[in-house]
Amino acid sequence: MINIRQEVPLLLYNTFGVPATASVFVESDDATELADFVRSLPDPSSAFLLGGGSNVLFVSNRCEMVIHPVIKGIEVTAETDDDVWVRAGAGEAWDDFVSWCVTRNYAGVENLSYIPGTVGASPIQNIGAYGTEAKETIETVEAVEKTTGQTVIFNNQQCQFDYRDSFFKKNKGKYLITAVQFKLSKRFEPNVKYADLKTELVRNTHMTMENIRQAVISIRSQKLPDPAELGNAGSFFKNPTINTAKSREICELDPQAPLYPVSHEYWKMSAAWLIQHCGWKGTQDGNVGAHKRQPIVIVNYGGATGKEVLDFAQKIIDSVDRKFGIRLEPEINVV
């Protein structure tokens, strides 16, 4: 069903908790009706797709039209002795989907527990945590092309997944994702290469999917602020990729600096380490600040506008660039 409302405040529709208003707010729980509605629009490209609002920052105070898919449903579409294919509606809460899979012993997404947002957002951002990325399990993505209203199905390769990136992110606003199909395994192989996860799991004698899920939830709860208590969108910045020469410079400053090899010539660097070593951890500037436990998380202490958040982020970017010659890139979607 299509539900259309006028002049809808978006404060409760974004985890940053910044004010904005949708002139027209369209909510839909049916992919076919959503496609028909998009086809009826004189300028569908102007409509903004809003999922769970956990990776968005409203800088403008007004959006002309917001489309909010609430398409639900999780079902097994095929299975073999080793694998199972699961299709989930874009409006399903991501962590509810992970819980559904873990409960049924379908392996592959347990390390992605407790990530906010919806299933529909997972391929856009190629969400990742603790050595796992969504691209490893996504089989197909069903979407509505906004300019034509036609339904398109993308396979994994066509999604062009990269670190916190995808075809959908590169072609921002061109597609409305309605469902995602995942290929999961019936044969559980734990992925515990991250030190934090190993430490959290040391008390468990049996390595199960549920143990890993609970360990991830525990770690994330300790490190990241709850958006219900302190407005934020999780990690604000991507971890930058640097070359070997720059990595050597970093190691001269701190031999224990968190660097992870990407290839023979490139390394992934912790954005949190860079931000902390520029003195931003726990700082506050007006209504905005860098979180006291995790400086890569920018928080709204109450009453902040999107512009205040973005201005604070820019100060961090400039500071890191001046000190280390590394330019941080925002991970979130600025509207």
Asked which of 10, 37, 69 is the last residue of a domain, the reply is: 69
Same domain, 318 and 242: yes
Which pair of tokens denotes residue 1? 């069903």
Same domain, 109 and 174: yes
Q: What is the mean pLDDT of the chain?
A: 94
- The answer to whether residue 118 scores a pLDDT higher than 70 is yes
* Ranges assigned E (strand) in 43-123: 48-49, 56-57, 62-69, 74-79, 83-89
Same domain, 118 and 175: yes
Same domain, 94 and 139: yes
- The answer to whether residue 262 scores a pLDDT higher than 90 is no
DSSP string, 149-211: --EEEEETGGGT-BTTB-HHHHTTTSEEEEEEEEEEESS------SHHHHHHHTT-SS--HHH
| Residue environment code for 184-218, b if the CB has 16+ CB neighbours within 10 A, otherwise e | beeeeeeebebebbeebbeeeeeeebebbbbbbbb
Number of neighbouring beta carbons within 10 Å of residue 242 = 21
- pLDDT (average), residues 189-215: 82
Same domain, 172 and 259: no
Which amino acid belongs to residue 232? Answer: N
Give the model's pLDDT for residue 251: 92
Same domain, 250 and 162: no
First to last CA, the chain: 27
Residue 164 known to be catalytic:
yes
Asked which of 24, 43, 69 is the last residue of a domain, the reply is: 69
pLDDT > 90 in the chain, percent? 83
Q: What is the CATH number of the domain that holds 243?
A: 3.90.78.10
- Domain containing 83 equals 74-189
Asked which of 69, 95, 114 is the last residue of a domain, the reply is: 69
Which amino acid belongs to residue 201? Answer: L
Q: Which helix (H) or strand (E) holds 273?
A: helix 271-276
Q: What is the pTM for the complete model shown?
A: 0.89
pLDDT, tens digit (0-9, with 9 covering 90-100), for 14-35: 999 999 999 999 999 999 999 9
Select from 189, 185, 180, 214 the least CA-distant residue to 200: 214
- Which alpha helices (H) appear in 94-158, and where do they start and end? 94-103, 122-125
In angstroms, how far is CA 140 from the centroid of its own chain?
18
Angle between helices 209-223 and 94-103 (to 10 degrees): 150
141 — alpha (psi -120 to 50), left (phi > 0) or beta? beta
Give 259's strand partners.
Answer: 269
Number of neighbouring beta carbons within 10 Å of residue 253 = 10
Give the model's pLDDT for residue 330: 95
Band (pLDDT 50/70/90 cuts) for residue 202 is confident
The span from the CA of 73 to the CA of 307, in Å, is 36
**At 126, is the secondary structure helix, strand, or coil?**
coil
Instruction: List Cα–Cα distances, 175 to 67, 84, 218, 271, in angstroms.
Output: 11, 27, 35, 30
Residue 235 known to be catalytic:
yes
Same domain, 176 and 78: yes
Q: What is the CATH number of the domain that holds 137?
A: 3.30.465.10
Q: Torsion angle of alpha carbons 51, 55, 59, 64, nearest 10°?
A: -10
Band (pLDDT 50/70/90 cuts) for residue 205 is low
Band (pLDDT 50/70/90 cuts) for residue 145 is very high
User: Which residue among the candidates 164, 213, 220, 247 is catalytic per the annotation?
Assistant: 164
User: Which residue among the candidates 28, 54, 166, 235 is catalytic per the annotation?
Assistant: 235
Q: What are the φ/ψ torsions at residue 61 (nearest 5 degrees)?
A: -80, -10
Select from 218, 215, 186 the least CA-distant residue to 198: 215
- The number of distinct structural domains making up the chain is 3
Residue 212 lies in a domain: no
Number of neighbouring beta carbons within 10 Å of residue 89 = 24
pLDDT, tens digit (0-9, with 9 covering 90-100), for 63-116: 999 999 999 999 999 999 999 999 999 999 999 999 999 999 999 999 999 999
Residue 197 lies in a domain: no
Residue 319 known to be catalytic:
no
Between CA 120 and CA 125, with CA 121 as vertex, the angle to 5 degrees is: 145
